[in-house]
Each structure stands twice: as C-alpha cells, then as structure tokens.
A and B are shown apart, each in its own frame.
Chain A
Amino acid sequence: KAGVTQTPRYLIKTRGQQVTLSCSPISGHRSVSWYQQTPGQGLQFLFEYFSETQRNKGNFPGRFSGRQFSNSRSEMNVSTLELGDSALYLCASSLRPDNSYEQYFGPGTRLTVT
C-alpha cells in the first residue's frame, strides 16, 4: 500500500497570505490528524478528522482550519500567515477509529513564511 502523501512538500509564502496543504491517507484509513512541528514548541496537535467530522482540535487560533472529504483526503488551511507559522506540518492517518491506535505519518510540508 502507498503511504501517507502530502503536497506540496515545500512552500514559501509571504506574511498575510493564506495557504492550503493537502494530505492523502493510506487507503482504507479514515482518521486523519494534523500536527505542527517547530524547533521551539515541538510537535503540537492541530486537529483530527474521522468520516468528515472534526473530533478534536488543538490550541491554535481560528486562522488554522481543516476539512476532510468523503474519500478521507484532508486539507488544512492557514489564513493571514504569520512568521511564527513557519513549521513542518505533518499529517498522519490511522486505521482504527478507537482510542488505541498507531498513526502513520506523511513526510510533511515544510512551510516558510517570509
């Protein structure tokens, strides 16, 4: 099976712009999670989707949003970009919808905001 794919892999944006990142989970996986990784804050949970429903959201401002489509593919959007949004954004998918699950991560999208 193909792994989790994320597009684009690298992105450079200017402050104030918005950006959309895409994630395609492993075939058959219906849970998709997003994480932000920065040197200062480490890995932080953004949100999780299952069957097109957001089930949990991390402590991020409303500029960060996401959605999941019926084929389980997911997108996240960041509006009005700030310098501090520069980070590696990781998407992960999981097979099981319950609480004890291992997640399969994509390679990430490296976002640089200038």
Chain B
Amino acid sequence: SQQGEEDPQALSIQEGENATMNCSYKTSINNLQWYRQNSGRGLVHLILIRSNEREKHSGRLRVTLDTSKKSSSLLITASRAADTASYFCATEESGGSNYKLTFGKGTLLTVNP
C-alpha cells in the first residue's frame, strides 16, 4: 500500500520558476526521502530528512518536514529543463527495523524551456 501521496500529480512550469511538490504520509516515520526518476529509468536520491529535522537544503533543493501534519514539501528553485522528471517521496516507518522504503505515486514535473 502507498504511504506517501504526492500533490500535485503533475506540474508544468517555465524555466526559471520555482516548483513546489507536497507529500503526505500516514504513519510515524524515521525519515523521509525524495527521489527523482527520469522517464522510466532508475531513481536518483535527492535528499533525506530525519524525523527530528524540520528543514534541509541541498543546492537548489529545499525540503521541509512537518511531522505533526505528516507532510513534507520539496521546493526546486530556479528550475531548468533538465529538472523535468518524476519526483517521489519515500518514507521509512518508525517502530522497529523495517529496512524498506514506502513510495508515493509521484509528481510529474515538466519544465518548459
């Protein structure tokens, strides 16, 4: 079953604009991660935020985590055509050793040149 649900399902913006994607999840988590996937290829890890962190930055990426609302957001600033991809959030549930990630269905981001 899906843990994370991304919103929106699809997003189309112009190059240079910012893109914001949201993720909601259902259970308590150890951490939340964001991945990018280009057109049916493997996933690329973008950023990991732990449950005791509220915000994290990596280059043009900014991730926030609100555990009280069970939600996270991914902001990509100054987007480029090369950012066109599907973006997934993935959670590791807390409460023992799960050793698995539960993925949402993803947001398809299209950046138009």
User: What is the interface of chain A, defined by CB distance below 8 A to chain B?
Assistant: 4, 31, 33, 35, 42-45, 48, 50, 55-56, 58-59, 88, 90, 92, 99-100, 102-108, 110
Contacts and interface: CB of A to CB of B under 8 A. Distances in A.
B106 A55 contact: no
Interface stretch (B18-26, B44-52, B68-76, B77-85): B44-52
Interface in B76-100: 88, 90, 92, 97-100
16 contacts: A33-B100, A42-B103, A42-B105, A43-B90, A48-B100, A55-B99, A56-B98, A56-B100, A58-B100, A90-B42, A99-B30, A99-B31, A102-B33, A105-B44, A108-B41, A110-B40
Contacts of A45: 100-102
Contacts, number: 64
Given A102-B33, A103-B101, A43 B42 contact: no
A35 B99 CA distance: 13
Given A42-B103, A48-B99, A56-B99, A102 B48 contact: yes
A42 B9 CA distance: 12
A42 B104 CA distance: 7
Nearest to A104: B45
Contact of B48 (A48, A50, A100): A100
B44 A99 contact: no
Range, interface on chain B = 20 to 34
Given A42-B103, A42-B104, A42-B106, A105 B43 contact: yes
A94 to B, nearest CB: 9
Counting chain A CB atoms within 10 Å of each CB, the highest count among B2, B97, B99 belongs to B99
Given A50-B99, A56-B100, A100-B48, A43 B88 contact: yes
